[in-house]
Amino acid sequence: MGRSKKKKKAKILLDTPTSQRQHQQLNQPSNCFEGERLLGLLQSIRREMETAKLMQGTLPEKVWIKQQFSIGVNDVTRVLERMEPISESGKATQDSTLGCGGCNDSSLQLQAVLLSSNCNPRWLAKHVPSLASSRGVPVIFVKDKKGGSLALGELVKLKTAIAIGIKAKGSGINKLAAEILEKIEA
């Protein structure tokens, strides 16, 4: 008797993520990159990264990548929490040029977040889209058959990365991100 209750409970738990996933896909079709569109996005970001590295020069690659990107769910969450929330009118509660707490440090500002839409377990990154929207930071979902986290990891020379935040630094990467966001909004 105890087994049938456990099976029913397991079925209910398994059905919930699927319905949530379908709901998210219906609400977020234009900012979800997969297939050829994903490959094009990653190739263009890699090209911009190579160009920017050549221009800046002397820093080791891992240090340079950490300056340009916030890597991982914890790091992205930390930077988003330090950013100033937007008010109902759509503007930051303080002057947006001052950044977080009056400091003009662009490492505390994200331009966009790349997020794997098919990470496992799903609850790891469930909070990122709502936190990003409260800070006025757009989220670009990445979905791949192998797993979006593998594609994002390759981008920053790691095995996997569930979330990558593009720091607002005024580089070529930021110009590319702005172009991508304009295409999504159009």
68, 25: one domain: no
Q: Number of folded domains in the chain?
A: 2
Q: List CB contacts of 97: < 8 A, sequence separation 6 or more.
A: 104
Cα separation, 50 vs 61, whole angstroms: 10
23, 35: one domain: no
Tell which residue, 40, 25, 28, 29, has the closest CA to residue 180.
40
Q: 7 or 180: whose pLDDT is higher?
A: 180
61, 97: one domain: yes
Statement: residue 1 has pLDDT above 60 = no
Residue 64, Cβ neighbours under 10 Å: how many?
Answer: 16
Segment 49-65 shows an average pLDDT of 84
57, 1: one domain: no
- Buried b / exposed e over 151-184, threshold 16 CB at 10 Å, is bbbebbebeebbbbbbbbbebebbebbeebeeee
172, 110: one domain: yes
41, 20: one domain: no
| Residue pair 106/99 in contact by the 8 Å Cβ criterion | yes
CATH of the domain at 124: 3.30.1330.30
96, 110: one domain: yes
Reported confidence tier of residue 92, pLDDT bands at 50, 70, 90: low
pTM confidence score: 0.73
Statement: residue 38 has pLDDT above 80 = yes
Q: What is the DSSP letter of 85?
A: P
Statement: residue 86 has pLDDT above 90 = no
Tell which residue, 186, 156, 158, 157, has the closest CA to residue 173.
156
Q: Which domain holds residue 125?
A: 31-185
| Residue pair 141/28 in contact by the 8 Å Cβ criterion | yes
Statement: residue 124 has pLDDT above 50 = yes
Backbone angles phi, psi at 132, to 5 degrees: -65, -40
What SS3 class is residue 45? helix
83, 118: one domain: yes
151, 117: one domain: yes
65, 92: one domain: yes
pLDDT, position 80 = 95
2, 86: one domain: no
69, 151: one domain: yes
Q: 179 or 55: whose pLDDT is higher?
A: 179
| Residue pair 110/80 in contact by the 8 Å Cβ criterion | yes
Most confident of 20-24, 52-56, 79-83, 141-145: 79-83
